[in-house]
Amino acid sequence: MKETDLKQFARQLAIWADLVIEHGRTPFRRVDQFPLLYTSKGFFRPPLVFWINRQSLMAGGIVLLPDNNLPKQLELGSATAAALGLKHFVTWESSRICIWNTDGETTCMEKQLPVTAGDEPETFRALLLEVMEEVKLLSVLGMVPANQLSATYLHNLFQETLNSARGPLVNTFRQTRADGQLKENISRADRQAEQFNRLTLLRLLALLWHDVLPESILPEKLQTAMQLVIPSLPPELHQPLSQGLQEQEPVLPLESAVCYHHLLLRLRQITWNKPVERARQAISQFLSPEKTSPVRPFLPPAKEVPLLQINPKVPLLGYSLLHELSGSASFLASAALLRHVNNDPPAHQHCGTLFRFSELPLPATRIQGQLTNRRRVPRDVRQRYDALLRASWPTRRFDLPPDSPYWVLETIHLLGMSPMNAELELEIPSSWLIAPCGQTLWTLISENFQLHTVTWEEQTTILSLQKQRGGVDITKVIYRQTERQIDWSETTGRTRALLLFSLLLPDPIYQLLQSDRFQPCREISTTAATDQGLRAYSRTLLGRRLWKLLGGDEPADTADQIRQQSDMLGWPVPAEDILCRLSLSATNEPRSDRHQQEQDQTLTELLKLSTDLDFPVPQWQETHPASSVRQVATSNHRQRIVHNLKARGLPDFPEQYLYQLDSPELTRYHFQPPLQVTSELLGQYELIDSTQASFIVQGEATVEALNLCAKLGRCEVELPVDQQQLNSILTSYRNDLLQLRQELSRQAHVLLENPQAAERLSKKIWHELNLPPWKWLEH
């Protein structure tokens, strides 16, 4: 059976099971299709899982659909059963249904149900009912005792709590962003919510590990209780788990607090830390490097030398002289807890960006760094960073673009702060090889460092450096299985273009560019023949491929523009005699495929090449993302918000507010909008409407109220004569609109992750509701 057919079959079984759960008598409360679970065999998605209580990770049964590989499915079934606290699972094959028992050294079949030939839906539905009846009994009799639950079971229990608590936390953080109380300088609201979610779980696990939480806690008091007892933890846990407590920490929403309170009760119920080794194994698995993408090893450990790690992907264990810097408070807490439960030496941890280190010396001379944050540095933060760059590079002034991302400024700062003879291994976006700001990095590296190795890692490059001048001036470049060496003493200049070519070009073309058949464009003389040859070469496949590889768009049409742009890019061109001979075959005819093929053939013959001129060009990432989340509001979003706002009630001016006044004297006005003030004298205003009818009113508040009603499309209105009363209802109306706008903004931000999309949706809905302009609210 194909994978798509298996999924469709599992989906149909789930639909029938839902109907049984809804209308039948069964202990199951829900059925999930392909939930992600962690097992001793790694992550796995079983086709169907029947839940008695998912939040407590109390499963009733597992159904697998073997695809002609029963032995592998039996291994996965046993591992999945252990990960859910069960001793049984079901395999549904084309000819039979088997119930397997894992309560022993080997997995054995306990019962078999034949699958009759035919494809009638009712046949399979009846078989499903029979399976559910069999599993119902086993879910009670075959439940694993608490002291025998596996470490993978605890791992999935932790993850289930994270998943359940995430939604309310994301909504809370987005609402806080809508209220202007959350800055997205380094990461988005959703990312900050996930960080806080994970940090809360780590706090709870650390406090339960040391058993310092009170026996009885209400969910709404859980966050406060944890904050009060965190200082009683050992110092190596106290500091990383206290990140955020010094500032105004977000309040844990009640729905999320209930999830963590439920985990607290469940862990105590199953006595999770006895035996201790199981709890240690569960925490280690949950915080294990296996949960992240594998990364190549950085500098080999030298335990007698202090090491500074900047934004590491995985915690380094067993290193006694380690300094750890990360912008993720949850990563630092994870690393600290992982070391603590495994009795490894603690690290010196620092939370924030690299600009946290603003004074020399750095705490280590061996440095590993992952500097890949492509978000723009906000203007107010940028001013402070520019001042700190003057400290790390006192003899230089950098003219960086105002929209420079974090990684650029952090890399420049680190290069300046690192002491002489320091060894660095830095992972930065590959776009530094073509971006204008990358030229600044290249200049600093060329003048102050020995560049030992450059490794291409798709969207990033890893640089191995040593801060010293002189010495062996050779760089090894590594791209997949290819290694090359650049001896800079034998080159005409240290250019980024040469480094890029050595990384990405096929060997024949790379050797060609190193030969005397190519030279820098600036060395070509300016004649009619060379100008014609430059234009012809820029239209060849090789010329355009090299141009694009260097980050250019399309070569210009005139030779002067080509020369100017090629100097900026480092675009190599054939030797002058080859250009002159290439110009002889050039024409002024419009470009065509046939003409390009002829030019390519001529260039191949002139360069004496026997290989194809084409080669793949990588898709360069932007130096910084234009928008981290590209999201557009849908009509469904708009309808939901409008429905909620109308259910809440839209303010109606002035009728709704006249009830606040005690027997006001009213004046009725008739007009055709819009209105315009033509004159004012001693508090009396003359207004004119669209029919050129004029009338005189008393008081500035009356003019404001009439203009407001006219913009709302009103033609007739009654207003109080007393200016104080009129000002009172205008103020009340404005306050109600401000509250309505805040609620609208909150709902838009909850539905949309992108803050710009949320603001656009808010303004669009406000306009559709025919409410006063936002500028009037801020008057």
CA atoms within a 13 Å half-sphere pointing along the CA-CB vector of 566: 26
- Tokens of residue 274, six digits: 């006895």
Counted domains in the chain? 5
Backbone phi, then psi, for 362, in 5-degree steps?
-70, 155
> Final residue of a domain: which of 289, 322, 345?
289
**pLDDT at 264 exceeding the cut of 50:** yes
d(CA 97, CA 76): 17
d(CA 386, CA 400): 10
Which residues are registered as beta bridge partners of 667? 719
Inter-residue contact 715 to 672 (CB < 8 Å) = yes
Same domain, 664 and 694: yes
- Tokens of residue 251, six digits: 């309040």
Q: Comparing C-alpha atoms, which of 75, 60, 56, 57 is closest to residue 17?
A: 60
Does residue 30 form part of some domain? yes
Helix, strand or coil, per DSSP, at residue 715: coil
pLDDT bin (cut points 50, 70, 90) of residue 1 is: low
Query: Which contiguous run of DSSP H or E holds residue 325?
Result: strand 322-326
Query: Which contiguous run of DSSP H or E holds residue 332?
Result: helix 329-341
DSSP letter at 185 equals: S
Range 427-460 burial, b when 16+ CB lie within 10 A, else e: bbbbbbbbbebbbbbbebbeebbbbbebbbeeeb
DSSP letter at 425 equals: E
**pLDDT at 296 exceeding the cut of 50:** no
d(CA 596, CA 613): 12
- Tokens of residue 170, six digits: 């994301």
Domain residues for the domain of 376 are 307-501
Helix, strand or coil, per DSSP, at residue 189: helix
Peptide bond into 361 cis (omega under 30): yes
Same domain, 216 and 341: no
- Which single residue is written with the structure tokens 């590989």? 69
With DSSP H G I counted as helix, E B as strand and the rest as coil, what are the percentages for the chain, rounded to 5?
A: 50, 15, 35
pTM for the structure as a whole: 0.79
Does residue 631 form part of some domain? no
Query: 131-135, 241-245, 284-288, 708-712: lowest mean pLDDT where?
Result: 241-245
Inter-residue contact 351 to 216 (CB < 8 Å) = no
Q: What is the CATH number of the domain that holds 340?
A: 3.40.50.150
Over residues 216-240, the mean pLDDT reads: 94
d(CA 130, CA 750): 44
Over residues 55-68, the mean pLDDT reads: 91
List the helix and strand counts (H, then E) for the chain. Answer: 26, 24
- Give me the helix-helix angle, 635-648 and 755-768, nearest 10°: 60
- Tokens of residue 704, six digits: 């404001």
Same domain, 496 and 540: no
Does residue 26 form part of some domain? yes
Same domain, 387 and 470: yes
- Tokens of residue 374, six digits: 């492509």
pLDDT bin (cut points 50, 70, 90) of residue 297 is: very low
Give the pLDDT confidence score for residue 300 in this predicted structure: 55
Q: Where are the alpha helices (DSSP H) in 120-150?
A: 121-141
Does residue 703 form part of some domain? yes
pLDDT above 70: percentage of residues in the chain: 92
Does residue 295 form part of some domain? no
**pLDDT at 106 exceeding the cut of 90:** no
First to last CA, the chain: 68
CA dihedral 223, 229, 231, 237 (to 10 degrees): -80
Which pLDDT tens digit goes with each residue over 586-631?
A: 666 556 667 778 888 888 888 887 777 777 777 766 555 544 444 5
Give the pLDDT confidence score for residue 184 in this predicted structure: 60
Give the pLDDT confidence score for residue 160 in this predicted structure: 96
Over residues 75-96, the mean pLDDT reads: 93
Range 602-616 burial, b when 16+ CB lie within 10 A, else e: bbbebbeeeeebebe
- Tokens of residue 376, six digits: 């723009």
Query: Which contiguous run of DSSP H or E holds residue 88?
Result: strand 88-92
Same domain, 339 and 488: yes
pLDDT bin (cut points 50, 70, 90) of residue 511 is: confident
Amino acid at 475: T
**pLDDT at 90 exceeding the cut of 90:** yes
d(CA 288, CA 106): 28
Same domain, 595 and 697: no
Q: Comparing C-alpha atoms, which of 467, 473, 563, 462 is closest to residue 503?
A: 462
> Final residue of a domain: which of 98, 122, 144?
144
E strands, 423-525, are 423-429, 450-457, 460-466, 474-479, 482-487, 518-520
d(CA 723, CA 775): 22
Q: Comparing C-alpha atoms, which of 267, 296, 247, 346 is closest to residue 57?
A: 267
Same domain, 215 and 283: yes
**pLDDT at 772 exceeding the cut of 70:** yes
Q: What is the CATH number of the domain that holds 113?
A: 3.90.1570.30
Inter-residue contact 694 to 672 (CB < 8 Å) = no
d(CA 213, CA 196): 20
- Give me the helix-helix angle, 276-286 and 329-341, nearest 10°: 150
Helix, strand or coil, per DSSP, at residue 395: coil
Q: Where are the alpha helices (DSSP H) in 179-274?
A: 189-209, 222-229, 235-241, 254-269
Same domain, 497 and 512: no
Query: How many CB atoms sit inside 10 A of residue 532's CB?
Result: 20
Q: Comparing C-alpha atoms, which of 241, 257, 252, 240 is closest to residue 161?
A: 257
Give the pLDDT confidence score for residue 622 in this predicted structure: 59
Same domain, 332 and 476: yes
d(CA 161, CA 256): 9
Which residues are registered as beta bridge partners of 350? 325
Does residue 644 form part of some domain? no
**Residues contacting residue 703 through CB under 8 Å, at least 6 positions apart:** 677, 685, 687, 697
d(CA 405, CA 374): 5
Does residue 301 form part of some domain? no
Give the pLDDT confidence score for residue 186 in this predicted structure: 59
**pLDDT at 531 exceeding the cut of 60:** yes
Inter-residue contact 50 to 60 (CB < 8 Å) = yes
CA dihedral 517, 519, 521, 525 (to 10 degrees): -70
pLDDT bin (cut points 50, 70, 90) of residue 294 is: very low
Inter-residue contact 158 to 205 (CB < 8 Å) = yes
Query: Which is more confident, 682 or 224?
Result: 224
Give the pLDDT confidence score for residue 205 in this predicted structure: 97
**Residues contacting residue 164 through CB under 8 Å, at least 6 positions apart:** 55, 256, 259
Residues in the chain: 779
Inter-residue contact 92 to 149 (CB < 8 Å) = no
d(CA 208, CA 224): 15
Query: 20-29, 44-53, 112-121, 421-430: lowest mean pLDDT where?
Result: 112-121
Same domain, 319 and 437: yes
Q: Comparing C-alpha atoms, which of 731, 739, 735 is closest to residue 704?
A: 731
E strands, 473-520, are 474-479, 482-487, 518-520
CA 718 to chain centre: 54
Same domain, 335 and 369: yes
- Tokens of residue 518, six digits: 């190519």
d(CA 257, CA 259): 5
> Final residue of a domain: which of 101, 126, 144?
144
pLDDT bin (cut points 50, 70, 90) of residue 746 is: confident
Query: How many CB atoms sit inside 10 A of residue 688's CB?
Result: 16
Inter-residue contact 194 to 166 (CB < 8 Å) = yes
Same domain, 353 and 489: yes
pLDDT bin (cut points 50, 70, 90) of residue 334 is: very high
d(CA 163, CA 360): 43
d(CA 283, CA 546): 50
Does residue 348 form part of some domain? yes
